[in-house]
Amino acid sequence: MTLGAGRAGRPTLAVVGATGAVGTVMLQILSQHADIWGEIRLIASPRSAGRKLTVRGEQVEVVALSEEAFDGVQVAMFDVPDEVSAQWAPIAAAKGVVVVDNSGAFRMDPEVPLVVPEVNAHAARMRPRGIIANPNCTTLSMIVALGALHAEFGLRELVVSSYQAVSGAGRAGVETLRRQLAMVAGTELGTSPGDVRRAVGDDTGPFPEPVALNVVPWAGSLREDGWSSEEMKVRDECRKILGLSRLPVAVTCVRVPVVTTHSLTVHARFESEVTVDKAREILATAPGVVLFDNPAAGEFPTPADVVGTDPTWVGRVRRALDDPTALELFVCGDNLRKGSALNTAQIAELVAAEYR
């Protein structure tokens, strides 16, 4: 690829997993953000080698993942499955590349910082393994708002339910919902037990149940005592990012028939009494947060409006009826933007600033 005018001397970036759900949004974000990179190298599996993708208005050929693909690279974003990151991120790091990893492979490694720039940007500088981890999309969909409230009030307990979009399960999740929607559209299905299941068939893609005309109280794999891996991730990651290693956290993760944008109800208990006015003031001024909360006018965030936007949107701000130290919130965040690609890009930009 030919470097654009003025790009010489800037750090070279590799996007590993450029063809995936997150990678696709990443290329859009890299095309929209300030052009701070020299070469942008696109990497995926050998299946995609030779494909051309557009980034910064230029066609770039995808190369297969290999050790040589990291030659001359300063920063690499990994948007690939856990096992691919687990194998290849240390190989890239051993070549001096700073890896920003979007998978779950390193998030709880004590030698890998887990970074949300609005909350703990300082942590990105301490990376003994040369790897920085990006949190899970469900954690990221609320943590910027929670971090701002924690800084003022001091978080003491968290109870969360998620309403997660199918793109959180990658391209396969989106394809499954669209296929099932086509099968049930224009029918009277959803009125007797099992009618939706019979219509969509046994292939429910990455989900254990039909997701069209349904809600599925499950995301991830089974962990101890009936908890799901997604629920454990939210708990562990919130604790690590906020530096609250013993924070009580209860999470229930639910999949809903939304393409992109996770929603969450949040019950957050703080050190002392809170007021809605103060909470609204904090949320209205916190970087990366939009307060959209006027139920009388029918104004609260929903995925249909939030999708494709960068901020964490917060509405339905109420003080708990039975506990003056607790707030109830409804939060929406695009799981492919702040929930993954945007946060990764922001971390990579923090690292790139070190090269100036």
Residue 104 in contact with residue 140, Cβ under 8 Å? Answer: no
Catalytic, out of 150, 238, 253, 262:
262
Q: Which residues of 191-225 are buried (b: 16+ CB within 10 A; e: fewer)?
A: eeeeebeebbeeebbbbeebbbbbebebbbeeeee
| Element spanning 304, H or E | helix 303-306
Beta bridge partners of 273: none
| Token pair in block for residue 127 | 């990376």
228 is an annotated ligand-binding site residue: no
Residue 51 in contact with residue 62, Cβ under 8 Å? Answer: yes
Shortest distance (Å) from residue 236 CB to ligand NAP:
15
205 binds ligand NAP (CB under 6 A): no
The residue nearest ligand NAP at its CB is 20
Helix ranges (DSSP H) in 75-169: 82-94, 117-120, 137-153
| Element spanning 173, H or E | helix 170-184
Residue 102 in contact with residue 78, Cβ under 8 Å? Answer: yes
Single out the segment in contact with ligand NAP by CB under 6 A; choices: 75-83, 112-120, 184-192, 214-222: 75-83
Distance, in Å, from the CA atom of 188 to the CA atom of 210, rounded to the nearest integer, reads 16
21 is an annotated ligand-binding site residue: yes
> Which DSSP letter does residue 313 get?
E
164 binds ligand NAP (CB under 6 A): no
Q: What string marks each residue from 165 to 194 as x (binds ligand NAP by CB under 6 A) or -?
A: --xx-xx-----------------------
In the bound state with ligand NAP, the residue whose beta carbon lies nearer, of 307 and 326, is: 307
47 is an annotated ligand-binding site residue: yes
Sign of the alpha-carbon dihedral angle for 247, 218, 87, 40: negative
Q: What string marks each residue from 127 to 146 as x (binds ligand NAP by CB under 6 A) or -?
A: ---------xx---------
229 binds ligand NAP (CB under 6 A): no
How do strand 289-291 and strand 312-319 relate by DSSP bridges? parallel
Residue 242 in contact with residue 134, Cβ under 8 Å? Answer: no
Place of tokens 């953000």: 33
Query: Does the annotation mark 238 as catalytic?
Result: no
Amino acid in position 273 = E
151 is an annotated ligand-binding site residue: no
Shortest distance (Å) from residue 344 CB to ligand NAP:
8
Single out the segment in contact with ligand NAP by CB under 6 A; choices: 16-24, 115-123, 251-259, 324-332: 16-24
Beta bridge partners of 283: none
109 binds ligand NAP (CB under 6 A): no
| Token pair in block for residue 87 | 């194998």
Shortest distance (Å) from residue 44 CB to ligand NAP:
4
Single out the segment in contact with ligand NAP by CB under 6 A; choices: 18-26, 272-280, 303-311, 348-356: 18-26
In the bound state with ligand NAP, the residue whose beta carbon lies nearer, of 10 and 337, is: 337
Amino acid in position 177 = L
Single out the segment in contact with ligand NAP by CB under 6 A; choices: 3-11, 73-81, 116-124, 219-227: 73-81
Query: Does the annotation mark 262 as catalytic?
Result: yes
Close Cβ partners of 248 (under 8 Å, ≥ 6 residues apart): 156, 157, 158
Total residues in contact with ligand NAP, by rule CB under 6 A? 29
Given 3-state DSSP classes, what are the helix, strand and coil percentages for the chain, each rounded to the nearest 5? 35, 25, 40
Place of tokens 């909470």: 279
Single out the segment in contact with ligand NAP by CB under 6 A; choices: 42-50, 221-229, 268-276, 326-334: 42-50
107 is an annotated ligand-binding site residue: yes
Shortest distance (Å) from residue 52 CB to ligand NAP:
13
307 binds ligand NAP (CB under 6 A): no
Which residue positions form the known binding site for NADP(+)? 19-22, 47-48, 167-168, 335
Report, as residue numbers or ranges, the catalytic residues. 137, 262
Binding-site positions: 19-22, 47-48, 107, 164, 167-168, 255, 335
Residues of the shown chain interacting with ligand NAP in the complex, contacts defined by CB under 6 A: 17-23, 44-45, 47-48, 65, 79-82, 84, 102-103, 136-137, 167-168, 170-171, 335-336, 339-340
